[in-house]
Amino acid sequence: MKKRIVLSGITGKMGKFLLQGFEINPDYEVVAGVALEEDLAAIPPIYADIKTMYEETDFDVFIDFSRPAYAKEACTFMLEHGIPIIVGTTGFCKSDILAIQQLSNVKGVGGIIAPNFAIGIVLLHKYLQLGTKYFKNFAVYEYHHLSKYDNPSGTAHYLANAVGGSARVDEVDIHGFRLPGVLATHTVIMSDESQKIELTHQSNNRYSFEEGVMLALEMIDSLTTVVYGLEQIL
């Protein structure tokens, strides 16, 4: 039986990309979308009001690639009504994530919030954690397309937080750039007086993110709380 999906942010770049992927995947079906402009004649129908969508749609999981303020409200609504969530929207603050996780624990509903769904970003995160054993100085340089609205990005903060909890590291420099012809590139640097390590992950296209979303869908039924970071399900 196909897993029925509601795709929030369906008219955005990532939403359109995921919709195309789901259309050719026999295991999933997007039964409705959510966007600012309603179009109920579309296939699938697009709702502007999430409560009306919920009342009129039978679905199994809610995927969100929208904007932080809306995503927080939408995820809260879904968890209150027992619907698992997969969230790729960036720009959440720590208190937002904590509030969503606390609600998921109360309701016993699972999900994942990931600042980046690319597998390679998880590897960068792990390399940075390992680097805190040997280095004290770290920097993150991130490059995104011109329409990326949060700067620095959620991914940049996610990478910086990999070393931020170490007593050896005082501060992580983060530098964000918005450039034409770029999708997403993240470079992390670890250095001391005698050596430097520089690692770069580049998303050449949105398939790098789709892979992680599909993995999250495969694992969603086994989650009983909302986890943060794709590494939690790898």
CATH number at residue 190: 3.30.360.10
Question: Is the pLDDT assigned to residue 24 strictly greater than 60?
Answer: yes
Same domain, residue pair 129 and 86:
no
- In one-letter notation, the amino acid at residue 165 is G
Q: Kindly report the pTM of this predicted structure.
A: 0.92
Domain that holds residue 161: 119-203
Assess whether 165 and 211 both reside in one domain: no
Looking at the fold, whether 169 and 90 belong to one and the same domain comes out as: no
With tokens 């430097």, the residue in question is 196
Is 92 in the same domain as 133?
no
Between 18-22, 23-27, 169-173, 186-190, the lowest mean confidence (pLDDT) is in 169-173
* Active-site residue, from 72, 144, 157, 186: 144
pLDDT of residue 47: 98
Question: Annotated catalytic residue: which of 13, 51, 72, 148?
Answer: 148
Q: What is the pLDDT of residue 94?
A: 87
Instruction: Specify whether 18 is located in the same domain as 91.
Output: yes
Residue among 56, 3, 49, 55 nearest 27 (CA): 3
Task: Encode pLDDT of 40-98 as tens digits.
Answer: 999 999 999 999 999 999 999 999 999 988 999 999 999 999 999 999 998 888 899 99
Q: Are residues 87 and 33 in the same domain?
A: yes
E strand or H helix at 212, and its extent? helix 207-219
pLDDT tier for residue 191 given thresholds of 50, 70 and 90: very high
The reply to whether 81 belongs to the active site is: no
| Same domain membership, residue 127 and residue 103 | no
CATH of the domain at 12: 3.40.50.720
* Distance from C-alpha of 50 to C-alpha of 47, rounded to nearest angstrom: 7
Residues above pLDDT 70, as percent of the chain: 97
Q: Does the annotation count 144 as an active-site position?
A: yes
Average model confidence (pLDDT) across the chain: 94
Instruction: State the total domains in the chain.
Output: 2
